[in-house]
Structure 1
Amino acid sequence: MEPGIFVDILSDALFLVIKLVSAIIVPSLIVGLIVAVFQAATSINEQTLSFLPRLLVTLSALIIGGHWFTQELMDFFNRLVLSIPEIAG
C-alpha cells in the first residue's frame, strides 16, 4: 500500500466537498450581497431582511442541484469501491 493512493483519495474527497458546498453557498452569497446593497441604498437597517431571500435561494439550490449532488457522491463512492483491489493489492 502506497501513501500516494490515500493522498489521492483524500484530495478527491476534499475537492468534491468544495465543489458541492460552493454550489450551495455561492448563490446565497450573491443574493446576500444584492440585499446588502439594496439595504445600503435605501438606508433600511433591518437585519432579518436578508435572511429570508438567502434561505429561499439556499433551499432552491438544494432542490435544483439535489440530483447532481447525489450523482457526484455516488460516483465518488463507486470509484472508492472500485479502487479497493488496488489499495489492498
Structure 2
Amino acid sequence: MSDVTVIHLGMTALVLAAKLSAPLLLTALAVGFGISLFQSVTQLQEQTIAFVPKALAVGIAIVVCGKWMLHELTAFTTSLYGQIPDLVSGG
C-alpha cells in the first residue's frame, strides 16, 4: 500500500467525519447563538440556561439526521471492505 493510498484513505475518513458531525455541530451552534442573543436582550447571564435546549436540539438533530448518517457510515465501511483486496495486493 503506497503512501498516496494511505493519505487518500485518511482524507476520505476525515471528510466523512466532517460530513457526519456537521448537522450536530451546526444545530448546537444555531441554538447556542439564539440563546446567547436571548440572554443579551434580557440581560440574564446564567451559564446553565443554554445546556438543556442545546441537548434537546442535538437529540432532535440525531433523530432527524441519524438515518442519513448511518447510511453514509455503512456505505463508507462497505466501500472500504471492498477495497481490501486491492489495498493488500498493492494494486
TM-score, length basis structure 1: 0.94
Per-residue CA distance 1:61-85 (angstroms, 9 max, x = gap): 1111111111011000011011112
Cα offset, 1:52, TM superposition: 1.1
What pairs up with 1:1-89 in 2 under 5 angstroms?
1-89=1-89
What letter matches 1:24 in structure 2? Answer: L
CA distance in 2 between counterparts of 1:87 and 1:52 reads: 46
CA distance in 2 between counterparts of 1:34 and 1:66 reads: 24
Q: Which of structure 1's runs of 4+ aligned residues deviate more than 2 A?
A: none
> How many corresponding residue pairs?
89
**Quick one: percent identity of the two aligned structures?**
30
Question: SS of the residue aligned with 1:73?
Answer: helix
Measured on the aligned residues, the alpha-carbon RMSD in Å equals 0.9
CA distance in 2 between counterparts of 1:6 and 1:83 reads: 12
Stretches of structure 1 lacking an aligned partner (at least 5 in a row): none
